[in-house]
Copies of this chain bind each other. A is one copy, B any other.
Amino acid sequence: MNKINIEEKLSLFSERRSPKIVAELNGQHVKLVKLGGEFIFHKHDHEDEMFLVLKGWFNMEFEDRIVRIEEGEFIVVPRGVVHRPVAPVECSIMLFEPSTTLNTGDIQDAEFTKPVLDWI
Q: Which residues does chain B contribute within 8 Å of A6, judged by CB atoms?
A: 72-74
- Interface residues of chain A: helix, strand, loop or mixed (majority): strand
- Known A23-B50, A50-B23, A96-B96; contact A73-B28, beta-carbon cutoff 8 A: no
Count how many chain A residues have C-beta atoms less than 8 Å from C-beta atoms of the other chain: 33
The minimal Cβ–Cβ distance linking A53 to chain B, given in whole angstroms, is 9
Cα separation A75 to B98 with both chains bound (whole Å): 18
> With an 8 A cutoff between CB atoms, is A61 at the interface?
no
> With an 8 A cutoff between CB atoms, is A107 at the interface?
no
* Residues in A lying within 8 Å of B, measured CB to CB: 1-7, 23-26, 28, 30, 47-50, 60, 62, 67-69, 72-78, 81, 96-98
